Amino acid sequence: MTLPKLEIVNLRKLFGDESLVAVDGIDFAVEAGETVALLGPSGCGKSTTLNMIVGLEQPTSGDIRIDGRSVIGIPPGKRNVGLVFQDYAVFTHMTVFENLAFGLVIRGRPKAEIAKAVHEVAELLGMSNSLNLSASELGGSELQRVAIGRTLVTKPAILLLDEPLSNLEASARLAMRRELRRLQSEIGLTIIYVTHDQIEALSLADRIAVMNAGKLQQIERTSVICKKPDHVFVAGFMGSPPMNLLRGEIIGDGTSLGFRRDGLFIGLSSSEASVSDYVGRPIILGLRPESLTLAAAHDATISGKVAVVEPRGPEAVVTVESGAVSLKAVVPTVERPQVGADIGLLAAPSSFVFFSGETGRRLAS
């Protein structure tokens, strides 16, 4: 069995007088050649995690292993980990060549080796003709390309990217996303990519690690995580729009079972083993917007009034208000209803996802 490229073991980081828990005991492994996106709201501990991997911050406890060996105590320059920040950190008083060469120059590498490495990376990044330009003449996406190139010349075992595209305007961001995908496939880099933009994470990563308040809530393949969130936080964070989450309770009298929230009641099959233990306890029902279909108000799972219709090309997001509950459904644009219409939403029981109202964890189905 080959070793993971990177292993994070029960990693914790406390700041200040140890009252601020920035990273709260996270575990995950990244395989060689894999791209993992760390995704989560501002302040959840993403950058602190990257800074510990590169060696800019010392963990309070836990371990970081690269190719099976702990790197705790090894200085940043000796870990063979490259970090690219969002604000480029390119030296504008230097040429592109000098910027790309910088990491090797400070390592005292021979001139010929530096020139060869710089030319190889410049070619990879499509910048061979820009080597003599001053960095001050470059636009945002070219500066970011130089920043990435400057890290690549040192041939890092792992490349860490901290919000690398967030300073770029939309079209440059799309172009750089394509560029990063090409680099991934051409040089098979192992990448950890920090972002709070889930579209970016979904389009670049093999797996997504969702963090919240210093904890790793879930790490899962990109193609699966939106459909199978393990935690209510992931369910409410992933997807556009995210899953509808209704906090309520399970009621049952031995013969019938249902979910109740204010005036809303949804009957459940008594064979719903996962929820039958939850009678009288708080529960959260998750309904994916894509699995709700429109129906006549009288024979629907939930009925209400259309509050908003947002066309998005071939699909439209329809917000339906039913008493105090507001639900979003994604429907074909041609079927979109009028605002104010009385409408029903049908949900197949097989699409219901339940989370414990106490722990937020998904119940086994």
43 sits near ligand ATP (criterion: CB under 6 A) = yes
Instruction: Determine the longest span between alpha carbons in the chain, in angstroms.
Output: 81
265 sits near ligand ATP (criterion: CB under 6 A) = no
List the one residue from 5, 35, 36, 46 that touches ligand ATP (CB under 6 A).
46
282 sits near ligand ATP (criterion: CB under 6 A) = no
12 sits near ligand ATP (criterion: CB under 6 A) = no
Mode of pairing for the β-strands spanning 244-252 and 292-295: unpaired
212 sits near ligand ATP (criterion: CB under 6 A) = no
**Residues facing 219 on adjacent strands:** 209
Residue type, 76: P
DSSP state of 242: B
SS3 breakdown of the chain: % helix, strand, coil, rounded to 5? 30, 35, 35
Using CA atoms, how far apart are residues 360 and 152, in angstroms rounded to an integer? 41
22 sits near ligand ATP (criterion: CB under 6 A) = yes
Q: Six-digit token pair at 40?
A: 């989560």
List the one residue from 28, 30, 48, 97 that touches ligand ATP (CB under 6 A).
48
Q: Six-digit token pair at 76?
A: 């940043």
196 sits near ligand ATP (criterion: CB under 6 A) = yes
19 sits near ligand ATP (criterion: CB under 6 A) = no
Q: Cβ contacts of residue 203 below 8 Å, gap of 6+?
A: 177, 181
# residues near ligand ATP by CB under 6 A? 13
Q: Which is nearer to ligand ATP, 119 or 196 (CB)?
A: 196
Using CA atoms, how far apart are residues 9 and 162, in angstroms rounded to an integer? 21
84 sits near ligand ATP (criterion: CB under 6 A) = no
Q: Which is nearer to ligand ATP, 60 or 276 (CB)?
A: 60
56 sits near ligand ATP (criterion: CB under 6 A) = no
**Is the Cβ–Cβ distance between 264 and 246 less than 8 Å?**
yes
Q: Which is nearer to ligand ATP, 153 or 216 (CB)?
A: 216
List the one residue from 20, 105, 273, 348 that touches ligand ATP (CB under 6 A).
20
What does residue 67 show for φ and ψ, rounded to 5 degrees? 50, 40
44 sits near ligand ATP (criterion: CB under 6 A) = yes
| Minimum CB–partner distance for residue 3 and ligand ATP (Å) | 27
| Minimum CB–partner distance for residue 201 and ligand ATP (Å) | 13
Piece in contact with ligand ATP (CB under 6 A), picked from 37-45, 60-68, 99-107, 339-347:
37-45
Q: Name the CA radius of gyration of the chain, rounded.
A: 25
> Which of 358, 296, 285 is closest to 327 using CA atoms?
285
What are the residues binding ligand ATP (CB under 6 A)? 15-16, 20, 22, 40, 42-48, 196
